[in-house]
Amino acid sequence: MKVLITGTASGIGKGCAEFFLKENHEVYGFDKNISSIQHPKYTHFCLDIRDKNSYPEIGPVDILINNAGVQNGDDIDVNLKGTISVTEHYGIHPNIYSVIMIGSASGHTGSEFPEYAASKGGVLAYTKNVAMRIAPYQATCNSLDFGGVMTELNRPVMEDGETQEEEPAVCTCAEKCQAGAVNTSCPVCSVNMSECAGVEPEAEPEPDPDDYDFEDEEDYINEDEPEQEEETEETK
């Protein structure tokens, strides 16, 4: 198959190109930077996908992977408009087999930078548009929407020195919390009492029958009974 991939100089695009080359497919790569891929079936073009006049005539492709993307203020122009331009030029024809968009979870959640999230949200909508248009050719169009992936594009964000992982909460209880007696000042037990790390209180020992004072028990039993008058000569 003939495969066209944008953004093949590094990251996901480079990985995709190496995979298809390993499977012995013919691969074409677009990127503004020079690629380090050296393979007899790989052809690299240094170009900006926003510039339609720079597109080479390579003939119909079977698979198109739109991977090129930025996070630098040109997000809408590159991530969305550039993707549309490449797809309209190379991906809409009767012999197309598959069009794949490398999207982002930001397109669903709206997180990350405003223009980046908006550009990926637009890619999602455009994916549906392309899917409907190439369906008559028995072809598919899908968007792969990853979360954080350690690439050169994401490295400055994912390795931000100001961002630190929150340390897990630690139980501060000296004694084990019980139902109805939860230490609400403890950061763990105030949320989940079952995670309490306090010490179980010692159970009170059962009374030993050998130590039972039956004289005291007899006094206790009889203390509410009226005293019986002694029988005297007068009461006889």
Q: What is the pLDDT along the chain (236 residues), one digit of tens a residue?
A: 999 999 999 999 999 999 999 999 999 999 999 999 999 999 999 999 999 999 999 999 999 999 999 988 899 999 999 999 999 999 999 999 999 999 998 889 988 789 999 999 999 999 999 999 999 999 999 999 987 665 555 555 555 555 445 578 888 888 888 877 888 888 887 777 788 888 887 767 776 666 655 555 555 555 555 555 555 555 55
CA distance 89 to 188: 57
Q: Are 199 and 174 in contact (CB under 8 A)?
A: yes
DSSP track, 102-158: E--THHHH--S-HHHHHHHHHHHHHHHHHHHHHGGGT-EEEEE--S---STTTHHHH
Structure tokens at 10: 């590094």
Question: Which domains are seen in the chain, by residue range?
Answer: 2-156 (3.40.50.720), 169-197 (no CATH)
pTM of the model as a whole: 0.64
Q: What angle do CA 155, 158, 164 make, to 5 degrees?
A: 145
